[in-house]
């Protein structure tokens, strides 16, 4: 695929301000498309309120939490907490993207719309978890306070272009994580709720992916470098959650999110759609970034194969123990 553009010039000429202005029409087009497709939904309709009862505290008839009160699986519980605490940092995320994209014009309209839609995710997940008694409410609140008190600073806050590249992958990663959590939760109500959230996340991914496509047409070398940097150093926004490393390891084993899923279901679909590794006509720095990206993806697939083997061996051991 060869990209040509009347806007091409020296890479150094592309400041964040110029790129913001150049992408404004694309943002408006994608915003209008999003608003036509996106469907409003009511968080309270996805919560099993009839299962709810008081917790100890101000209510004398409160019942203490016990994990046996919920049908949610252990891996489902772990992933739900990680997913919710990630959503809880929305004020910091809003600050980050509003600072990068601005609050005026189509960019500003998108920033506020995205924030409003993401807000529903935290609302419905918390209501579900408490009504269904899937988590210890005291620990959940303690984790929330600890996580939000740390704040959030994006690894890509130095560059609007890097930020667009990041969210194109991150929104898809979030969608996959929610969807797989629902499948592994053991509760059809939870699965339905997370499927609804995943639909929103997919639309957000499409918005940013299409912006990234336009960025490749405007400044292919810089965009290639941004994609290379983001893919190589990618980490989820919830990495600051207390106990995140252990939870991430459990989610990997539980097939909610792991190296194979990250490679096959997150990175590859976006790269393939944009034909990133097939772009011709790049300058020296863009070509180097493209080559490094290809090498990294090959190495990541090798690491995913090793993980697949370890996971298969673990399953075989567990099956043998169960049959003994």
Name the phi and psi angles at 41, rounded to 5. Answer: -145, 160
Q: Is 133 left (phi over 0), alpha (psi -120 to 50) or beta?
A: left
- Three-state secondary-structure class, residue 108: helix
- CA–CA distance, 81 with 264 (Å, rounded to integer): 24
150 assigned ligand-binding residue:
no
309 is an annotated ligand-binding site residue:
no
Tell whether 162 is in a known binding site.
Answer: no
87: annotated binding-site residue? yes
Residues in a beta bridge with 2: 280
The answer to whether 201 is a known ligand-binding residue is yes
User: Does 63 carry a binding-site annotation?
Assistant: no
CA nearest to 95, candidates 78, 109, 83, 112? 112
Contact at 8 Å (CB) between 121 and 195?
no
Write 20-26 long-range contacts (CB < 8 A, 24+).
Answer: 20/101, 20/102, 20/107, 20/160, 22/218, 23/211, 23/214, 23/215, 23/218, 24/105, 24/106, 24/107, 26/210, 26/211, 26/214
Residues ≥6 apart with Cβ < 8 Å to 1: 275, 278, 279, 280
Q: Binding site: what residues are annotated? A: 87, 118, 121, 171, 201, 204
Q: Binding site for Fe cation: what residues are annotated? A: 87, 118, 121, 171, 201, 204
């Amino acid at each position: 695929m060869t990209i040509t553009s009347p806007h091409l010039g020296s890479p150094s000429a592309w400041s964040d301000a110029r790129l913001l202005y150049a992408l404004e029409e694309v943002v408006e087009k994608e915003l209008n498309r999003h608003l036509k497709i996106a469907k409003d939904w009511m968080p309270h309709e996805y919560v099993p309120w009839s299962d709810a009862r008081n917790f100890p505290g101000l209510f004398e008839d409160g019942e203490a939490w016990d994990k046996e009160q919920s049908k949610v699986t252990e891996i489902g519980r772990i992933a739900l907490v990680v997913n919710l605490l990630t959503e809880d940092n929305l004020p910091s995320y809003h600050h980050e993207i509003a600072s990068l994209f601005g609050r005026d014009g189509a960019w500003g309209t998108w920033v506020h719309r995205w924030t409003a839609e993401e807000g529903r995710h935290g609302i419905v997940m918390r209501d579900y978890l408490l009504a269904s008694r899937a988590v210890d409410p005291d620990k959940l609140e303690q984790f929330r306070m600890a996580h939000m008190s740390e704040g959030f600073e994006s690894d890509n806050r130095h560059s609007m272009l890097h930020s667009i590249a990041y969210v194109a992958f991150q929104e898809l990663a979030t969608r996959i994580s929610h969807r797989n959590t629902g499948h592994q939760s053991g509760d059809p109500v939870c699965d339905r709720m997370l499927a609804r959230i995943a639909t929103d996340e997919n639309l957000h991914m499409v918005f940013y992916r299409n912006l990234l496509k336009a960025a490749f047409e405007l400044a292919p070398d810089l965009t290639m470098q941004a994609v290379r940097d983001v893919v190589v150093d990618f980490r989820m926004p919830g990495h600051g959650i207390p106990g995140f490393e252990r939870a991430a390891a459990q989610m990997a084993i539980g097939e909610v999110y792991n190296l194979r899923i990250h490679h096959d279901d997150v990175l590859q679909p976006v790269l393939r759609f944009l034909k990133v590794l097939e772009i011709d006509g790049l300058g020296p720095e863009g070509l180097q970034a493209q080559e490094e990206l290809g090498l990294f993806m090959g190495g990541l697939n090798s690491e995913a194969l090793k993980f697949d083997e370890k996971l298969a061996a673990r399953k075989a051991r567990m099956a043998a123990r169960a049959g003994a």
